[in-house]
């Protein structure tokens, strides 16, 4: 099946405060965000016309910009309104939503302190990172060579484009080896996350997940923890050593793109796709589609 390149699609993109034809949403090759990684973004989903945790994502967008030493020139309310405008004008109800902000072209050097800040929002159809069959069967993960950086060495709590360089490299290597994704360790060798999703493990009815103080604390991760607690499931956030993986029964990952996806294998370790993981997947599906749940 051929895939239409993202720069050749139809529709409109919200670009610096106004809607422009999709193919006209362009930047110059000499842009600070491209050369020096001074760029932030969000990954969101709309379900039945409602963007899940829309305002929370916009607030995190602002926080990421603050960490990256710039200010998004639009308020949280303006960003929320623009996201819904994009959905409407592109005729979409179920979609992936991508806000992005970056430093422009006034200066091309390490310092871009006085560069203008540009903002864009695009939406497109993307049912899920993994199809339902793969989610239920459980995906296979490799173990990445690269590690998540020390918070003293990188702005790990921003959703910043530069932090994903090692994620792309790790995912490419995993895919070439026949895996769906890769699990990354932190700078001390503890389990951290996947290349674009947080990770959870289950043992004897207790859910374990790495402390999110060394990588992005995903909004989906936060939602799933709350849903698990509402179920009465115990959730333990702690440092997890990779050698512990052989003791866990189940595993799943969470993220706006991945949603809740079960894991059957991480390197030499195997997991069952058990009932607890499936219940959590179902609870999350119900939470993001409240209209369907009410019906």
Query: Which residues form the catalytic set?
Result: 159
User: Which of 182, 217, 181, 180 lies closest to 198 in space, CA to CA?
Assistant: 217
Those residues whose C-beta lies under 8 Å from the C-beta of residue 236, and which sit 6 or more positions away, are: 206, 207, 208, 209
At 27, list the tokens: 């930047």
According to DSSP, the β-strands at 95-103 and 44-47 are antiparallel
At 293, list the tokens: 């749940």
Q: What are the start-end ranges of the E strands in the chain?
A: 12-15, 18-21, 39-41, 44-47, 50-51, 95-103, 117-124, 139-147, 181-185, 191-194, 198-203, 206-210, 234-238, 250-255, 259-266, 269-270
Do 182 and 195 contact (CB within 8 A), yes or no?
yes
> Got the DSSP string for 205-229?
TEEEEE-TTSS---HHHHHHHHHHH
Do 196 and 258 contact (CB within 8 A), yes or no?
yes
Do 280 and 199 contact (CB within 8 A), yes or no?
no
Residue labelled with tokens 């004008």: 89
Cβ atoms within 10 A of the Cβ of 171, count?
21
């Amino acid at each position: 099946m051929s895939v239409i390149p993202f720069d050749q699609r139809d529709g409109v993109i919200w670009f610096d405060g106004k809607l422009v034809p999709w193919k006209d949403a362009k930047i110059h090759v000499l842009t600070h965000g491209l050369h020096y990684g001074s760029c932030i973004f969000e990954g969101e989903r709309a379900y039945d016309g409602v963007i899940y945790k829309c305002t929370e994502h916009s607030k995190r967008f602002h926080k990421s910009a603050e960490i990256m030493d710039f200010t998004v020139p639009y308020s949280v309310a303006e960003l929320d309104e623009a996201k819904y405008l994009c959905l409407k004008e592109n005729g979409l109800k179920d979609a992936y939503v991508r806000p992005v902000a970056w430093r422009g072209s006034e200066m091309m050097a390490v310092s871009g302190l006085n560069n203008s800040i540009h903002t864009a929002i695009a939406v497109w159809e993307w049912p899920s990172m993994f199809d339902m069959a793969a989610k239920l069967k459980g995906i296979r993960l490799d173990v990445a060579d690269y590690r998540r950086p020390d918070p003293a060495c990188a702005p790990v709590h921003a959703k910043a484009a530069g932090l994903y360089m090692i994620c792309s490299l790790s995912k490419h290597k995993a895919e070439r080896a026949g895996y769906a994704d890769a699990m990354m360790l932190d700078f001390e060798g503890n389990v951290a996350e996947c290349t674009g999703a947080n990770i959870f493990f289950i043992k004897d009815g207790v859910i374990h997940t790495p402390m999110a103080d060394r990588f992005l604390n995903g909004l989906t991760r936060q939602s799933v923890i709350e849903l698990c607690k509402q179920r009465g499931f115990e959730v333990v956030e702690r440092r997890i050593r990779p050698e512990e993986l052989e003791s866990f029964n189940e595993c799943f990952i969470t993220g706006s793109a991945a949603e809740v996806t079960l894991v059957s294998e991480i390197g030499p370790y195997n997991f069952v796709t058990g009932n607890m993981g499936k219940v959590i997947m179902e609870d999350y599906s119900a939470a993001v589609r409240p209209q369907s749940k009410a019906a």
